[in-house]
Structure 1
Amino acid sequence: MTKKEKPKKNSSQKKTYKGIVDVTRTGMAYVTVEGLASDILVKQKNIGSALDGDEVLVDVIGNGKSRGRTEGYITDVLKRKKTEFTGTIQLSKNFAFLLPDKGAFMPDIYIPENSLKGAKDGDKAVVKIVAWGEKTRKPVGEILEILDASDTNDLAMKEILVESGFPLNFPDEVLEELATIEESISASVIKDRKDFRKILTFTIDPVDAKDFDDAISIRKLKSGLYEVGVHIADVSHYVEPSTALDKEAERRATSVYLPDRVLPMLPEKISNELCSLRPHEDKLTFSAVFQMDEKGAVKQHWIGRTVIHSAHRFTYEEVQEVIEKGEGPYDQEVLLLNTMAQTLRKKRFKDGAINFSSQEVRFQLDATGKPIGIMVKESKEAHQLIEEFMLLANRTVAEYVSKQKAANKQPVPFPYRVHDTPDEEKMHVFAVFANKFGYKFDMSNPESIARSFNQLLTAVKGKPEQHVLETLGIRTMAKAIYTTENVGHYGLGFEHYCHFTSPIRRYPDVLVHRILAQCLAGDIKVDKQLEKRCKHSSDMERKAMDAERAGNKYKQVEYMQQFIGDTFEGVVSGVAHFGFWVETVDTKCEGLVSIHNMDEVFRHSEEDYALIGQQTGRKIRIGDKVTIRVVAASLAKRQLDYDLVENEGNTAKRSSVMTGKPLSSYKPDRSSKPKDRSKARKKKK
């Protein structure tokens, strides 16, 4: 921005704020500043080089009022939300532009001839912004990758990743550094670790997993107790602070899991080879080792660096089979660990943890990535076995570090995983709603709220209102985040908690390992940027979740395209003033029913979580069972549109949710034709 473009100002009145810019499709922008009652308006000519979602500095001049709003101009971009974009190449003689696919008022990106990498006119590409032209006021970019537009699935998944701010490839300096890492484990490294290589150790993971973060060992001690080791890949041995590898891992902060691929936080040489706890290989680990009785009571523990040698790689399905049949590989050890885990689980809920459970879907894909079936993932005892021992390790490490003191006698700054108590207002609305079904909530304190939740979750099992109350109960909960301010983990009922068990795929776990190593060595180095790193990790976790939801939604839409005109049984999963969302019972695919296509005028009642007909008083409420017809499936918008089927008899396919099996046998009803659509659909907010 040049001086002549800046609004006239009195320097004595200038106020500068830091905030996040929201650029609208018209080119107008608003900067949200924490602590300010209203956003700061920024006109298009005063946005400068800021893009939607960037962290910026904004100056407010004088009273800064424009039509009753505070007005300002952006002076600096502190942090880009994203630097890589997908779009279509528009080629000229000696240069090109990328016309971005998405982005509110996103300018075209200028690409000089030496950065084209052979791109042709009309190609789809990923471009990285490397500079900002002072004269043109246009972003300048270079092509990172030319995309194969004929592979629609690959193109869609890559667009989702880039759209969410995740780079598709690792920088050259990272790969160069990776090539210098010593792959063999030297005797000098092993001598400083506790050796578990002769103790029975195995991993339990999903069938398609390649990055095995954790392993469990077990042996009986002479005392009659059992030694159970929770062994976690020692990523911090290979990824040292301030290296190119470390900086890239911190920037990504997390791996991203889409239906057909994983975008790893660390290069595959580390995530799938050096650090993956593969069977029959020596591996470096960081471990929490417990002496326990056969009921799972912990008598003492030890934390430190180790070396292991996994004897077996289990899938969850294989372990579940051992648990159910009572026989199989290492059956005695598996059954004992399961008994311990179930005891830990019962104690956790007794001590105040909230027993929320949710169903997840998994897509069965063909060789081209096209969904040919949908499976429902259910948490069984095999999953709970791993979950309880990981929770135990995470809690134990957090408790240990919480007792340590830095050189200034202050607590050691540490990336805790915290979960705050529910919002009072949300909780009150939910309690009133639950009371309509006869469920009472004791709101006197957080502990009594947790007890009330568990009583409700037990009592509601198998009842018509189960889905609605479970769904809305989860929505009253705060979001878990990373922070140095330890307020405990309300949902788990833990005073101290951290993430220690997945350093291959989560950067906070790497930070935990480093600080833990310093505490054990008595050489604590206070990281003054730790809270900033925690916030970044929380932000990237949310972006990864958004990307995963977008990937799942794309596959849902792709799967449901074959069922246009067919009817399904569904459950109302959300309501808004313009319509309601329905999740199909069989396929778990959510779509919007617009009230514009219904025969009655409805009003939105927030306290009832419902739409209420103004003529009849009829309620459409979250959790209601309905029949819908699929009328549109837009891959471009990742959006499903449904119509409510009324007074046509029971034409929908009966619910038959399968657990862990593809829904390949489903044959929808094709007896009715879809309705004509004349009105535009509104997007889910």
Structure 2
Amino acid sequence: MSAFYYKFIRADMYNIVENRKKVIMDFVESPMYVPMKEKELATFFGIEKAKRYELKEVLQELLLEGKLEITKRGKYKKSEKKFLLGEFIANQRGFGFVKVEGRDSDIFIPAEYTSNAMNGDTVKVVIDMESGEKKAEGHIIGIEKHANSQVVGYYQKSNRFGFVLPDDTKIFKDIYIPQGKGNGAKTGDKVVVDITDFGNDKKKPEGKVVEILGKNTDIGVDILSIARSFGLPEKFGEEVENELKSIPKKVLKKDIKGRADFRDKVTVTIDGEDAKDLDDAITLEKNGNVWHLGVHIADVTHYVKENTALDKEALQRATSVYLVDRVIPMLPKKLSNGICSLNQGEDRLALSCMMEIDEKGNIIGHNICESVINVNERMTYTAVNEVITNSNEETEKRYAEYIDLFKDFKTVSDLLRGARTKRGSIDFDLPESKVILDKNGRAIDIKPYERNSATKLIEDFMLAANETVAEDFFWQDIPFLYRVHENPDPDKMKSLAIFINNFGFTLRRKNDEVPPKEIQKLLVNIEGSDAEPIISRIALRSMKRARYDTVCIGHFGLAAKYYTHFTSPIRRYPDLQIHRIIKENIRNGLSGRRIEHYRNILDDVALQSSKMERRAEEAERETVKYKKCEYMLSHIGEEFDGIISGVTGFGIFVELENTVEGFIRMSDLEGDYFEYNEAGYELVGEFTKKKFVLGQKVRVKVYDIDRLAKRIDFKLVKEKNGRGY
């Protein structure tokens, strides 16, 4: 006992905090230790009353780090809790959540227990409380990896130093820029900062300016800032550029040798008007009662060889990112818009999936081969839809020689979709929007993306090819990448069933499981009703996120046992990766060494691809939100009709017909004190019993807009009683 006492007497206790913590833990972990209260520990170490706050500080830190825990009687002992690793998701109000891989629900972290973690950091978290509904609360005990080595923000200069206000409103602290580290930045500049010191509770993060993007008002700087904040690279490195020099602009004759030659088949591409990276083309013929559908995909791997600088960069990016005013491609334009793009009138190398389809929409045979094609016509969704749906006379005249082909496309599309629907495939048809910009990059309109018959038929053909390829390679038992979508969490399905019951709809569950066909029936039943948008959205939120995996566990949403991504190697790395495997297998079969090679790398490819896909989706969503705010700036004070699209404990979200979403604060809901009923997705007035519920129609006025926070504030003008239906 005296050895510990004299350690403290020699001022270890009053040295730096780390020394104090070590002394405490040495004592707690010693055989002689029995759990003690704070007062007992102070007495044992001979700490006078005036200094007891220092002991309290050390004990508090050890609790936060998860090394100590307190018994019900207030005694300290070595913690038996194990920490989990996860991603910290900050909230603008100070608290946050930790998303842990494999857990269905996130762990809530109160503001005082975030341990200075920044949004996106990989953190160690200890669970303090967990209820039966799988809701957990915990505290962060350490930061394993910082996510924000760079920050984008607004620079403000002082006399001898500067500081940067981060664009990411989930990063709550300004970044201090010491004298000489501003790189010539001036007040009002948008800058990129390298963080050199992440600081702590008492000290701000510190950094240096490494790039000046321009003034906040300069054209394109707003979207460039968002791209930089997500770490999206725009330029390709010197090594990649050097490799591009050896890639031809046209297909060489020697590269055609040994390939199936489909250049005599009538071949078309169907894409959006502004698409430049055309990676899929289609052919269709009929022989008796069997349709022969060819889905021809750009052979990117012929030019992007494994382990080259091009390949490594493509894996690092993993996907093309489509922002409001620009595309950040996975591959350089010489490939994506050039030799790999299936441009009209040009010979192109392809990987083709040739499918035989019967009159019931069943795929009864197939062949996957290396090929060469030449596209006869570059079609648009608009033009094809005008032929197969609207019978536009002018368009039909322009494409007279293809009319029968387009109508056959529609026939086969209906067969494939019918077969998919029969097995229970779910089709969420939620409204999406496109922001229209003027020549200066300012938002001037918001238009809905229309899913018409032409977009659906391309979707049907691509899904058929993806499933066919996945099933083929599953049964060959070859290392492969699959696109998987797990069954939804039973608790979320239970909540969905309770919610839709309030609208008069039901969801049948068997052993707490909901088959995809039940979700499909629900979507059919609500089609055309006022409840359709909100129920579809809640149903989609109840699903798990699709991802890439090396294990084929099926795709719940498509009700498919086998599914992969085969059809977009120009813009998705998983497609490019499986093309490489397919081609090796077609040519010589995979040797034991190559099988082992792919087994060693594919898990990492799946993880990287899933991660970069999420990053791209977030970046795309953020740029759209920013431009929607910009568009609504000219509508402040105006009134709009909308529906309640979200209900929280601090207010309600309202979506307008143009897909713009804004927020009404709880404090701005007049006439009562409202309480949040989570089970019913509603706010209920304490005295009046007035309700604000999901799907309720309301009229709102645009009140305020914060472009930096990408937030639109509404004020309520009037609402319909009940759900408004």
Bin of the TM-score, shorter chain as denominator length: 0.7 to 0.9
* CA separation of 1:220 and 1:148: change in aligned 2, threshold 3 A: farther
**Structure 2 counterpart of 1:655:** none
Check if 1:291 corresponds to 2:356. Answer: yes
What is the distance in 1 between the residues matched to 2:720 and 2:365?
A: 65
2:533 counterpart (448, 462, 467):
467
Matching of residues 109-258 of structure 1 within 5 Å = 116=183, 119-122=184-187, 124=189, 126-127=191-192, 129=194, 143-144=210-211, 146-151=213-218, 154-221=220-287, 225-258=290-323
2:340 counterpart (265, 275, 278):
275
**Structure 1 counterpart of 2:42:** none
**Structure 2 counterpart of 1:355:** 427
Is contact 2:195–2:205 with CA below 8 Å preserved after alignment? no
**Structure 1 counterpart of 2:667:** 596
Check if 1:372 corresponds to 2:447. Answer: no
* CA separation of 1:81 and 1:280: change in aligned 2, threshold 3 A: farther
Q: Structure 1 residue 299: deviation in Å?
A: 3.1
Is contact 2:89–2:98 with CA below 8 Å preserved after alignment? yes
Helix, strand or coil for the counterpart of 1:383?
Answer: helix
What is the distance in 1 between the residues matched to 2:108 and 2:683?
A: 31
Is contact 2:96–2:108 with CA below 8 Å preserved after alignment? no
Alignment RMSD (CA, Å): 3.8
What is the distance in 1 between the residues matched to 2:674 and 2:375?
A: 60
What is the distance in 2 between the residues matched to 1:618 and 1:278?
A: 59
Q: Structure 1 residue 600: deviation in Å?
A: 1.3
Helix, strand or coil for the counterpart of 1:215?
Answer: strand
Greater relative contact order (CA < 8 Å, ≥ 6 in sequence): 1
- What TM-score do the two structures reach when normalised by structure 2? 0.77
* CA separation of 1:32 and 1:352: change in aligned 2, threshold 3 A: closer
What is the distance in 1 between the residues matched to 2:500 and 2:380?
A: 39
Helix, strand or coil for the counterpart of 1:544?
Answer: helix
* CA separation of 1:100 and 1:454: change in aligned 2, threshold 3 A: closer
* CA separation of 1:567 and 1:90: change in aligned 2, threshold 3 A: closer
What is the distance in 2 between the residues matched to 1:470 and 1:530?
A: 34
Is contact 1:132–1:138 with CA below 8 Å preserved after alignment? yes
Q: Structure 1 residue 188: deviation in Å?
A: 2.2
* CA separation of 1:602 and 1:45: change in aligned 2, threshold 3 A: closer
Considering fraction of residues, name the structure with more helix. 2
**Structure 2 counterpart of 1:658:** none
What is the letter of the counterpart of residue 326 of structure 2?
Answer: R
What is the letter of the counterpart of residue 244 of structure 1?
Answer: A
Helix, strand or coil for the counterpart of 1:528?
Answer: helix
Matching of residues 336-347 of structure 1 within 5 Å = 336-347=408-419
* CA separation of 1:338 and 1:90: change in aligned 2, threshold 3 A: same
**Structure 2 counterpart of 1:627:** 699
Post-superposition CA distance 1:457-502 (Å, at most 9, x none) = 2222222322322222222111111112322101101001011111
Is contact 1:128–1:142 with CA below 8 Å preserved after alignment? yes
Matching of residues 576-587 of structure 1 within 5 Å = 576-585=648-657, 587=658
What is the distance in 2 between the residues matched to 1:42 and 1:22?
A: 12
What is the distance in 2 between the residues matched to 1:645 and 1:626?
A: 8
* CA separation of 1:398 and 1:445: change in aligned 2, threshold 3 A: farther
Is contact 2:173–2:205 with CA below 8 Å preserved after alignment? no
What is the distance in 2 between the residues matched to 1:631 and 1:30?
A: 30
* CA separation of 1:487 and 1:638: change in aligned 2, threshold 3 A: same
Post-superposition CA distance 1:289-345 (Å, at most 9, x none) = 113356644331111221111111111000001102554521111110111011110
What is the distance in 1 between the residues matched to 2:110 and 2:701?
A: 43
**Structure 2 counterpart of 1:403:** 475
What is the distance in 1 between the residues matched to 2:471 and 2:166?
A: 48
**Structure 2 counterpart of 1:683:** none
What is the distance in 1 between the residues matched to 2:102 and 2:356?
A: 49
Q: Structure 1 residue 509: deviation in Å?
A: 1.3
**Structure 2 counterpart of 1:671:** none
What is the distance in 1 between the residues matched to 2:719 and 2:616?
A: 42
**Structure 1 counterpart of 2:329:** 264
**Structure 2 counterpart of 1:479:** 545
Helix, strand or coil for the counterpart of 1:372?
Answer: strand
Helix, strand or coil for the counterpart of 2:599?
Answer: coil
Helix, strand or coil for the counterpart of 1:236?
Answer: helix
Is contact 1:5–1:45 with CA below 8 Å preserved after alignment? no
Q: Structure 1 residue 507: deviation in Å?
A: 1.5
What is the distance in 2 between the residues matched to 1:442 and 1:647?
A: 33
* CA separation of 1:527 and 1:479: change in aligned 2, threshold 3 A: same
Q: Structure 1 residue 376: deviation in Å?
A: 1.6
Is contact 1:165–1:543 with CA below 8 Å preserved after alignment? no
Matching of residues 13-28 of structure 1 within 5 Å = 19-20=86-87
Check if 1:543 corresponds to 2:615. Answer: yes
**Structure 1 counterpart of 2:453:** 381
Q: Structure 1 residue 373: deviation in Å?
A: 2.0
**Structure 2 counterpart of 1:428:** 494
What is the letter of the counterpart of residue 666 of structure 2?
Answer: I
What is the distance in 2 between the residues matched to 1:109 and 1:168?
A: 26
Helix, strand or coil for the counterpart of 1:260?
Answer: coil
What is the distance in 2 between the residues matched to 1:499 and 1:22?
A: 29
Q: Structure 1 residue 288: deviation in Å?
A: 0.7
**Where in structure 1 are there 5+ consecutive unaligned residues?**
60-67, 406-411, 650-685
Is contact 1:99–1:109 with CA below 8 Å preserved after alignment? no
Is contact 1:6–1:73 with CA below 8 Å preserved after alignment? no
What is the letter of the counterpart of residue 308 of structure 1?
Answer: I
Q: Structure 1 residue 57: deviation in Å?
A: 8.0
**Where in structure 2 are there 5+ consecutive unaligned residues?**
1-14, 30-66, 68-81, 127-136
**Structure 2 counterpart of 1:303:** 368
Is contact 2:90–2:96 with CA below 8 Å preserved after alignment? yes
Amino-acid identity (%): 38
- What TM-score do the two structures reach when normalised by structure 1? 0.81
Helix, strand or coil for the counterpart of 1:276?
Answer: coil
Is contact 1:213–1:501 with CA below 8 Å preserved after alignment? yes
What is the distance in 2 between the residues matched to 1:357 and 1:23?
A: 31
Q: Structure 1 residue 261: deviation in Å?
A: 1.8
Post-superposition CA distance 1:169-195 (Å, at most 9, x none) = 323332233233233322221113211
Is contact 1:33–1:39 with CA below 8 Å preserved after alignment? no
Rg larger for = 2
Is contact 2:484–2:548 with CA below 8 Å preserved after alignment? yes
1:333 counterpart (405, 411, 419):
405
What is the distance in 1 between the residues matched to 2:250 and 2:611?
A: 36
Helix, strand or coil for the counterpart of 2:301?
Answer: helix
What is the distance in 2 between the residues matched to 1:16 and 1:446?
A: 30
Helix, strand or coil for the counterpart of 2:251?
Answer: coil
* CA separation of 1:462 and 1:287: change in aligned 2, threshold 3 A: same
Post-superposition CA distance 1:70-125 (Å, at most 9, x none) = 77555x64xx6355432356789999986654434464467988x95xx5434735
